[in-house]
Amino acid sequence: MKIKPALLTLSLLLILAAGCGRPPSFLPTTPAAAQPLAAASATAPAAQPPSAEAPQDKAEILKGIQRSLDLLAQAYNERNGELLQQAVDQDNPPFRRLLKTQFDDYMKSYYAGQVTFRYRVLDIEQQANGTALAQIEAFGWLRGDWLFRWNGSAWVLTEPTVEELGEKQTREDEQFIFEFYPYMGETNERVIELVERAAARVKAKLGRLPEEKAVVRIKPNYGIDPYADPNALAYFQRGNDKKPDRIELFAPFSYTFGLYDPQEGWEKDLEDTITHEYTHMTHLRAFGSAGKMMDWFGEGLAEYTADSQRVREVGDALRQGTLIPILDTSGQVYKQDLMHLYILEKDVSLAYAEAQALILFIIDRYGSLDKVWELARAHDEIQDFDQALRRTFGIGYQEFDKAWRAWMAARY
Ligand SMILES: [Zn+2]
């Protein structure tokens, strides 16, 4: 799966906020601020009207939402779960649990107390059912689109209930069976377009696509898939004889979509993520999971097709001597190396960056992706990295590793 870029996950946000800088954006896209938020409201089913005292005046609503945002920030800054409850809709059980879990996880994390949370409401779109979709700014620069509901005394952070999403619709094209909900209105079309563009990118980079169709579900809330990792914008789930492969993704304009960089806009974030996830499926179905014994291989490939900017993370690690080795030769049981990327205890984002750098290095040094597949197949057969390298490139691990590091040092 694609872990969210370090800069956008709640936990790692702090590193960024602390001033490490973020990768520059290369695609000049319209800031999300300029985009209409009317989509969701157009077809939102009329649920029960808000309680009679709900303020209708926009300025009043903005004030009420800001009050809840301040409470939410204060809850995090002062480690006060009581305030969290006041800011979050307590009548929406899956959402309430999600926010509580995120809060508790954060408080247990290394980062707790190291950054100052602050949120600002920028604008709202009043929905037909009385809720308000707010465009918010987080940490002074990130954007989010969060839903607020009048609970009788305050505008609390919420998400639509499963019932409010409307009946699931499906549509098929050559590669995908899309599942989506009327609640998202026109936004579904935009997401479907992004998925199709992502597939075209995978094909352009890898040369072929799976023959099997994937089910792609566009989820407008967390309640519809309450076992999903809320920190992953999308994930790929391998199917079997009875069930097709699935790509599950959170719709934009939802809390679970996460925060995004307004300079890039949410579209790029989502398209890159789908490109990453669909690469996993393509790797599995069209390339027989070649290289599957090397954990780094599939993630490196997925970051490569998605043109991830994460690869830049290798620069600092290289200079600080904290690069994760390809092979951990220390002899410990739980190896901390790229070959065992999925059991790494820390620096997972860096591991993805290094995996991408490995793929890019091989392509750059040996001319094409063919050599990448050759290495993968050699490793499948020999199950020894040093020997697979010797067969593919005519050099052993030490020499390969040295050349890879020098290649990175010259670039990042
Ligand atoms: Zn992945």
Q: Please give the distance, rounded to the nearest whole angstrom, from the Cα atom of residue 371 to the centre of ligand 1.
A: 21
> Is the residue at 286 inside a domain?
no
21: pLDDT strictly greater than 80: no
Q: Are residues 13 and 98 in the same domain?
A: yes
Share of the chain above pLDDT 70, in %: 87
Structure confidence at residue 230 (pLDDT): 82
C-alpha–C-alpha distance, residues 252 and 262, integer Å: 13
Is pLDDT at 52 greater than 80 in this prediction?
A: no
Residue 44 CA, ligand 1 centroid: distance in Å:
33
269 part of a folded domain: no
Check whether residue 21 and residue 159 sit in a common domain. Answer: yes
Count of Cβ atoms closer than 10 Å to residue 154 Cβ? 16
**CA 159 / ligand 1 centre spacing (Å):** 27
pLDDT-based confidence at 162, cuts 50/70/90?
Answer: very high
Say whether both 227 and 316 belong to one domain. no
Higher pLDDT: 99 or 231? It is 99
Q: Is the pLDDT of residue 154 over 80?
A: yes
Asked if residue 1 belongs to a domain, the reply is no
pLDDT at 35: 34
3-state secondary structure labels for all residues of 163-219: HHHCCCEEEECCCEEEEECHHHCCHHHHHHHHHHHHHHHHHHHHCCCCCCCEEEEEE
pLDDT given for residue 25 in this prediction: 28
Q: Which of 207, 242, 262 is the last residue of a domain?
A: 262
Residue 198 lies in a domain: yes
87, 18: one domain = yes
Distance between Cα 192 and ligand 1 center (Å): 20
Distance 369 CA to ligand 1 centre (A): 19
Same domain, 338 and 190: no
Pairing of strands 234-237, 214-219: unpaired
Distance 280 CA to ligand 1 centre (A): 7
Residue 72: its pLDDT value, please? 98
Structure tokens at 311: 């690869």
Q: What is the DSSP string of 125-168?
A: EE-TTS-EEEEEEETTTEEEEEEEEE-SSSEEEE---TGGG-S-
CA of 246 relative to ligand 1 center, distance in Å: 14
H/E segment holding residue 348:
helix 348-366
Position 4 confidence tier, pLDDT thresholds 50, 70, 90: low
Q: How many structural domains are present in the chain?
A: 2
Together in a domain, 224 and 364: no
Structural domain that includes position 119:
8-262
Calculate how far, in angstroms, residue 235's C-alpha sits from the geometric centre of ligand 1. 8
Q: How far is the CA of 307 from the centre of ligand 1 (A)?
A: 13
Q: What is the mean pLDDT of the chain?
A: 88
Which amino acid does the sequence have at 64?
Answer: G
Ligand 1 centroid vs 277 CA: distance in angstroms? 6
201 and 311 in one domain? no
Distances (CA, A) of 81 to 87, 143, 150, 361: 10, 24, 20, 47
Q: Of 403, 18, 10, 35, which Cα lies nearest the Cα of 233? A: 10
- The stretch 383-407 carries a mean pLDDT of 97
- Residue 365 pLDDT > 80, yes or no? yes
Query: Quick count: other Cβ atoms within 10 Å of Cβ 206?
Result: 19
Report how far ligand 1's centroid is from the alpha carbon of 119 (Å).
30
In-domain check, residue 383: yes
- Binned at pLDDT 50, 70 and 90, residue 3 comes out as low
Same domain, residue pair 244 and 369: no
Residue 114: pLDDT band (50, 70, 90) is confident
pLDDT tens-place string over residues 57-104: 999 999 999 999 999 999 999 999 999 999 999 999 999 999 999 999
Centre of ligand 1 to C-alpha 238, Å, is 12
CA proximity to 189, closest of 29, 36, 39, 35:
39
Please give the distance, rounded to the nearest whole angstrom, from the Cα atom of residue 273 to the centre of ligand 1: 9
- The DSSP bridge pattern shows strands 176-180 and 155-158 to be unpaired
Can you state the angle between helices 187-206 and 295-305, rounded to 10 degrees? Answer: 110
- Indicate if 303 and 248 belong to the same structural domain: no
Mean pLDDT of 222-233: 89
Portion of the chain with pLDDT greater than 90, in percent = 80
Report the pLDDT averaged over residues 367-385.
97
Q: Is the pLDDT of residue 47 over 60?
A: no
- Within a domain: 131: yes
Is the residue at 125 inside a domain? yes
Place of tokens 């999403």: 165
pLDDT of 41 > 90? The answer is no
Residue 253 dihedral angles phi and psi, to the nearest 5°: 60, 35
CB within 8 A of 169, min separation 6: which ones? 179, 180, 181, 182
